[in-house]
């Protein structure tokens, strides 16, 4: 699939105010500073679609972007170490949770993980929340250009081992990406395109 158009539609912190159109949605979320905005800009081919910042926690609302006029890319606030007050962080967690539990249009969530780091407790806990609530998700390992291939493979193997030693029977489907080199772009967009096609076929 190729992205021909990517248009910002709305930002808000109230799930009831999200777009009413019955288009499939794909949500992108991860710890602060995982490279989410850079990845979204790489996928859409628009350098300034999602706001990038060296300061963690830049995204603070639910952001809907309409792609090719037939699906939504949803940019969600990062969780974890953003420098925001505890009261604001609690609000983040509340409306993010509401989005996942209430948004019927959500087809798949992409949980972004920095491939350079060991499995983080907060990532594992968030994926556990998705699993417990039967919300489909995949993992996107970001910043793959920062590692040698052997290191990358070792870290992903460690991640798989960590997950299967807890509540998971197997590692969820995952993608390896780099916003710098565009690695993983085609695989990820084709994955979304295939799901959208199957949804259309079943109408």
* Res. 4: pLDDT tops 90: yes
Does 23 reside within a domain? yes
Q: What pLDDT, in 10s, does the model give residues 160-170?
A: 998 988 788 88
* Res. 99: pLDDT tops 80: yes
Does 69 reside within a domain? yes
CATH code of the domain covering residue 193 = 3.40.50.300
* Res. 149: pLDDT tops 80: yes
* Res. 188: pLDDT tops 90: yes
Which domain covers residue 146, as residue numbers? 6-201
Q: Which residues are CB-neighbours of 189 under 8 A, at least 6 positions away?
A: 1, 2, 3, 43
Helix H or strand E segment including 8: strand 6-12
Does 1 reside within a domain? no
Find, among 112, 97, 191, the residue nearest to 159 by Cα.
112
**What is the spatial distance between Cα 170 and Cα 163, in angstroms, rounded to a whole number?**
7
**What is the spatial distance between Cα 123 and Cα 143, in angstroms, rounded to a whole number?**
16
In the block, tokens 């830049």 appear at 58
Residue 119 to residues 16, 155, 159: CA-CA distances in angstroms? 34, 9, 6
What is the domain count for the chain?
Answer: 1
pLDDT at 84: 54
At 52 the three-state DSSP class reads coil
């Amino acid at each position: 699939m190729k992205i021909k158009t990517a248009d910002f539609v709305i930002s808000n912190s109230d799930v009831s105010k999200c777009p009413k159109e019955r288009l499939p949605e794909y949500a992108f979320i991860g710890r602060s500073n995982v490279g989410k905005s850079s990845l979204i800009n790489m996928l859409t081919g628009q350098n300034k679609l999602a706001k990038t910042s060296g300061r963690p926690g830049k995204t603070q609302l639910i952001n809907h972007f309409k792609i090719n006029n037939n699906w939504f890319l949803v940019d969600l606030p990062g969780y974890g170490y953003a420098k925001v007050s505890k009261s604001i962080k609690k609000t983040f967690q509340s409306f993010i949770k509401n989005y996942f539990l209430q948004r019927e249009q959500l087809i798949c969530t992409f949980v972004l993980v920095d491939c350079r780091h060991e499995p983080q407790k907060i990532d594992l806990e968030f994926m556990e929340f998705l699993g417990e609530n039967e919300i489909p998700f995949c993992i996107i390992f970001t910043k793959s250009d920062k590692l040698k291939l052997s290191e990358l493979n070792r870290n992903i193997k460690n991640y798989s081992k960590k997950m299967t030693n807890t509540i998971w029977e197997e590692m969820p489907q995952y993608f390896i990406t780099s916003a710098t080199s565009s690695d993983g772009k085609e695989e990820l967009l084709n994955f979304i395109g295939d799901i959208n096609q199957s949804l259309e076929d079943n109408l």
